[in-house]
Amino acid sequence: MHGLIFMTWEKYLGERFGGPFLATYREALGETAANLPLANRLYDDDVLLAGVGEAQRLSQVPAETLLREYGRYFIINGLTGHLCAYILTNVHSGRDLLLTMRDAHARLRRTLDGLVPPLFEYERPAAANEVRLVYDSPRQLCPVLLGAIEGAAERYGETVEIQETSCMKRGAAACRIVARFSAPASDPARYAPAAPEHRKEEQMMLMKQIWTLLPEAGTIEGFTLADIEERLKRFHTVDSSLLRPAVLVEALYQLQFAGYAMSTATEPGDTMMQRRYWRVHRHM
């Protein structure tokens, strides 16, 4: 696990239960000033699990409650806000933060040897304010994810309704979570669909821009969702609302269904954020 997890975990304990509690906790785990968690180091999962057990023993608060509170705290605390500023300032809603987190975790896997951050997959949502998550990590730290969803809503001034339709802790193969976000009073149209005609024009323009930048099938390696977003920012004037992962995925779905694009969706091990796309026609 990334050292930021351990630093914010102890920060959470100190703010939740006070300094004397944190000192007792550290003493119980054998921590000293010389071996406190560092943000730029990696740690075994067992270290955190031992810490959760010790915090439960000292506080008499159930582990699931501690983990859910921590998940929320991780998203909204100042340390995360500072170290993850690039991610947090490039999204503008709780829903988009969750979609972006998956991609950020996948990049960390590739750039930090030995790091295995939690990954979750997405199912197609039924509404613009909804996210459907599938989490199947062997760590079974789903309470942290539930808390992170709550924290994502809080960070952007929203409220969220969470429904866990299945859970590994109750014997399911994976946790399935539906989160429905509600926009704040200051921005009531955040999740409202655009007027039909305007929306249709925006979608058509976005699809043409995406199709233009995609590599032709059989030439070079296809582009991921992150590649497409980066190139749209660099080479096209695109409204930030159209760069949201959910909007880009919808445009790519339509290009594929219309026969203008292809992807690795049917290949073994494919995931939405690692999926690669190409264009398959010379004209659109």
- In tens, the pLDDT along 79-130 reads 888 877 767 777 889 998 888 776 665 554 443 444 445 567 778 788 889 9
Show Cβ contacts of residue 1 under 8 Å, excluding neighbours closer than 6 positions. Answer: 42, 43, 44, 45, 47, 48, 115, 116, 117
pLDDT score, position 105: 53
Distance separating alpha carbons of residues 274 and 233, to the nearest angstrom: 19
Do 124 and 178 meet the contact criterion of CB atoms below 8 Å apart? no
pLDDT score, position 106: 55
**Nearest to residue 6, comparing CAs of 68, 60, 49?**
49
User: Residue 90 CB: number of other CB atoms within 10 A?
Assistant: 14
What would the two tokens of residue 157 be? Answer: 């001034």
Which domains, and CATH codes, for the chain? 3-61 (no CATH), 82-182 (3.90.1520.10), 196-279 (1.10.10)
- In tens, the pLDDT along 216-253 reads 988 889 999 999 998 998 877 777 778 888 888 888 98
DSSP assignment letter at 85: H
Distance separating alpha carbons of residues 254 and 260, to the nearest angstrom: 9
Share of the chain above pLDDT 90, in %: 43
DSSP assignment letter at 193: P
Rg of the chain over Cα atoms, rounded to whole angstroms, equals 21
pLDDT bracket for residue 22 (50, 70, 90) = very high
Question: Residue 15 pLDDT more than 90?
Answer: yes
pTM, to two decimals: 0.67
